[in-house]
Amino acid sequence: MRGLLGLGVQQPTVFYNWNAMIASVGDMMFRYWNPHIERMPLTDLQKLQENRLRSVVRFVSAHSAFYRQRFAEAGVAPEDITKLSDVAKLPFTTKLDLRNTYPTGMFCLPGDWIVRYHVSSGTTGKPTVVGYTQGDIDMWTDSLARALTSIGLGRGDVIQVGYGYGLFTGGLGLHYGAEKIGATVLPMGTGNTERQIELMQDLGSTAIACTPSYFLYINEVAQQMGISIRDDTKLKVGVFGAEPWSEETRKRIEEATGIKAYDIFGTSEMSGPLFTECHLQNGIHVWADYFLIEVLDPKTGEQVGEGERGELVVTTLDKWAFPLIRYRIGDLTILNTEVCECGRTHPRIMRILGRTDDMLIIRGINVFPSQVESVLLRMPEIGEQYQIIVDRKGPLDVMTVKVEVTEKAFSDKISDLMSLSKRVAKELQKVLNVSAEVELVEQGTIPRSMGKAQRVIDKRKV
């Protein structure tokens, strides 16, 4: 391709996706950002991971007092890590370690290597700081270029970025990824919802990236403005993440707006948003040349069986300012190592149930907000907005699920509403194994969020 362009040895600055290539799998044609890597035979990919694992372990031992001490405590030396399965010999790293070394105690390169900081919101404790070299930013951008290409986005698309810009990684992450593939970026950030919709129309956004809860709100405001996203805009793709959401929400969004909704995952510690589903919408491809993932039993720290749910643990393989060894992200998921029908050999993680620290324990029973969401949205009378309020009455935990009902259901007779509320309670009890009080409210009652939705109010913690 370089020869064709007559540009000599240097890769051209990418104004559009020179790299996105078409390849065939069977009789299907697919687009890849980097087919060589994305379709690399599994044995080669594992070899690459093995080499990189050895490098990163040596690197952190040489550059980080924190990891040197951890390795010494675990009685493991860099030389002990020769094959991929040796990763299990390495000690875990946790969010607490990041907090204890605040702000930059776990960085492995001096400040003059760092080209950017991001800082987590710190809603669940002290904030954590992440730093990047230029190479780390390039790796992050490349991950998203592959991911967005796998969805089918590229040159000619207008991608509206409705994640927050600034210290949060969502906005800038998507921004760089979208520019890299040659799409046009509309850097909206969050909020200003009416303007989001006007510009979506005026500039012809074909894709939007934001939290799923914010997109639901955008759709609501569009309706109030008399605009149909399906008929009056060019939007065809949503890239939704940064918070747990369910298959039921995906269905609702797709049916209501006619777009295809894709799941995107990442955490600030790993860089930011990094991985998405491919166009087949069947699990999120994790770029294995950059990240080694394990799915472990949260209690024992042992690998779970194939198809079983466990905690996601990550080791970075090509990230140098702030590498992570066996970092316990805490998100619960299922690992799928089968080669995807799209031809990509990189493993997939299935829809994230939530983080272990988002889990509610109600009278001894574990409940994830995303499970509540799945139950609610299966009922057509129920709207998409809900809140879970947990309190204690005497010695007992009481969970109240406050949920909006559709306008039509709300205008029904009181007796119909009462029977609906009973049905919701019964379904919740059946699926979650714990009883909940149900409060049905009118549309527009529950506060909307522009970023990560706050679904749970746990009054027991106050």
Which of ligand ADP, Zn ion, none does residue 278 bind to, with CB < 5 to 8 Å depending on kind? Zn ion
Q: Please report how the helices 169-180 and 134-151 are oriented relative to each other, as an axis angle in degrees rounded to 10.
A: 70
SS3 412: coil
- State yes or no: residue 404 binds ligand ADP (CB under 6 A): no
C-beta of 90 vs 329, nearer to ligand ADP: 329
CB 263 to ligand ADP: min, Å? 5
C-beta of 17 vs 316, nearer to ligand ADP: 316
C-beta of 149 vs 271, nearer to ligand ADP: 271
Residues 304-312: contacts with CB under 8 Å, at least 24 apart:
306/335, 306/337, 307/334, 307/336, 308/334, 309/333, 309/334, 309/353, 310/334, 310/335, 311/356, 312/349, 312/352
Q: Which of 216, 242, 329, 340 binds Zn ion (CB under 5 A)?
A: 340
Q: For the segment 252-291, give every residue that binds Zn ion (CB under 5 A).
A: 278
Cα 316 to Cα 27: distance, rounded to the nearest angstrom? 35
SS3 318: coil
Size of the site for ligand ADP (CB under 6 A): 16
Residue 176: count other Cβ atoms within 10 Å of its Cβ. Answer: 18
Q: Select from 26-34, 48-56, 159-167, 343-351 the region that touches Zn ion (CB under 5 A).
A: 343-351
- State yes or no: residue 424 binds Zn ion (CB under 5 A): no
Mark out the alpha helices in 320-383 (DSSP H runs). 369-377
C-beta of 104 vs 282, nearer to Zn ion: 282
Q: Which of 244, 283, 369, 451 binds ligand ADP (CB under 6 A)?
A: 244
Tokens of residue 290, six digits? 């950059």
Q: What angle do CA 417, 423, 424 make, to 5 degrees?
A: 90
Build a one-symbol-per-residue string for 298-317: x at contacts with ligand ADP by CB under 6 A, - elsewhere. Answer: --------------------
Build a one-symbol-per-residue string for 131-170: x at contacts with ligand ADP by CB under 6 A, - elsewhere. Answer: --------------------------------------x-
Kindly report the length of the chain.
Answer: 462
Q: Which of 108, 188, 209, 242 binds ligand ADP (CB under 6 A)?
A: 242
- State yes or no: residue 352 binds ligand ADP (CB under 6 A): yes
- E strands within 199-337? 207-210, 237-241, 260-267, 272-276, 284-285, 291-296, 309-316, 327-336
Can you give the binding site for ligand ADP, defined by CB under 6 A?
120-121, 169, 241-244, 263-265, 267-268, 329, 331, 352, 355
